Amino acid sequence: MPGFFRDILPLLWSGIISGCLYGVGALGLVMVFKSSRVVNFSHGNLACLGAFVVYGFSSGSLLSLSWGSAVALALGIACAVAVMSYVLIAPIVFRSDLASTIATLGIGLILQGAVQLVFGADIVNLDLPVPRFNFSLGAIRVSSYDLTVLAVTLAIVGGLFAIIERTKLGVAFRAVSTNPFACEVCGLNLRSVHLFSWLAGAVLGLVAALLIVPTTFLSSTTVPSFMLQAFTAAVVGGFSSLPGAAVGGILVGIIMNFFSFYVSPEFMNTFLLGVILLTLNFFPNGLLERAIGGRV
């Protein structure tokens, strides 16, 4: 195989895997934004809290639980915090999008402080309890972690599609996302739909955190920093399109891999901020608007 493809194919593959993680994180951001028009800047901090709960109870530093039980407990805590966050923000959601968005920054700082208070500022490791194996497909090295990420991402995208397209709650979510004022006139409870999207965002954020942490480490700033990639994916996808968030995540993952390999990983955050600014200026509805459309 020519040397060009020996470099390109592994970069594409690892970019797709990373992009799946960014896409899952972006889906959580878009779910909240579509229903309540709030850019949830506490998304990464809540996911970080959930990941630390899994670490604390699966490692025995708090209590000794199985990994699955620790994840279930973390999901419960993340959902409870999401409910409390929405209850705090709900009174201003209908008055000011800007004020409610700024409020999420405050909630994020509170959650980050809570993580540091309970778990400290140390760096810890958190792995997935999956069998370790790998094999080669030409120039591509496929690991059990890669397959796990793909399987979880496909399950999430498929499950989310089924809920939104096939259930009454999903129909209500689509209606509120399209015209909340008409829905309110028709008697639809907007707050219940908002709450559903905040709960879904909390679950998606935690899943993304649990998948990304094994590739790096867990600290009070790791997951919130990762959400910059997820935020970029949401912007590229249009920030109001769930398919756009998923595809945008993969696109951002691939672009990041090539930039890191051919330019420098040190300027990655600067590059991502540049992508966000360029997209918002020249493609305010997202790069993928025409390809995917405006449908939920």
Average pLDDT, integer, range 47-55: 94
pLDDT of 2 reads: 56
First to last CA, the chain: 41
More confident residue, 97 or 120: 120
Name the pLDDT band for 5 (thresholds 50, 70, 90): low
pLDDT of 3 reads: 56
**Within-domain flag for 292:** no
Average pLDDT, integer, range 52-56: 93
pLDDT of 179 reads: 86
The DSSP bridge partners found for residue 124 are 218
How far, in Å, CA of 67 to CA of 285, rounded? 40
pLDDT of 1 reads: 52
**Within-domain flag for 266:** no
In terms of residue numbers, what domain contains 56?
A: 27-132+140-220
Residue reference for tokens 């959580």: 28
pLDDT of 216 reads: 85
Residue reference for tokens 């004020």: 99
**Within-domain flag for 279:** no
**Within-domain flag for 187:** yes
How far, in Å, CA of 106 to CA of 92, rounded? 14
Name the pLDDT band for 90 (thresholds 50, 70, 90): confident
Average pLDDT, integer, range 146-160: 94
The single-letter code of the amino acid at 270 is T
**Within-domain flag for 172:** yes
| pLDDT score of 295 more than 60 | no
**Within-domain flag for 248:** no
* Percentage of the chain exceeding pLDDT 90: 53
| pLDDT score of 296 more than 50 | no
Q: Does residue 214 contact residue 127 with C-beta atoms inside 8 Å?
A: yes
pLDDT of 294 reads: 45
| pLDDT score of 293 more than 80 | no
Average pLDDT, integer, range 87-106: 84
Q: How many domains does the chain have?
A: 1
pLDDT of 28 reads: 94
More confident residue, 184 or 16: 16
34-43: pLDDT as tens digits: 988 889 999 9
Buried b (16+ CB within 10 A) or exposed e, 58-81: bbeebeebebeebbebbbebbbeb
pLDDT of 100 reads: 86
pLDDT of 240 reads: 82
How many CB atoms are located within 10 Å of the residue 188 CB? Answer: 14
Residue 18 CA to chain centroid, in angstroms?
Answer: 12
Residue reference for tokens 């696109």: 251
Average pLDDT, integer, range 167-180: 90
**Within-domain flag for 234:** no
**Within-domain flag for 233:** no
Residue 135, helix vs strand vs coil: strand
pLDDT of 33 reads: 93
219-276: pLDDT as tens digits: 888 888 888 899 999 999 988 889 999 999 999 999 999 998 888 888 888 899 999 9
| Summary mean pLDDT of the chain | 88
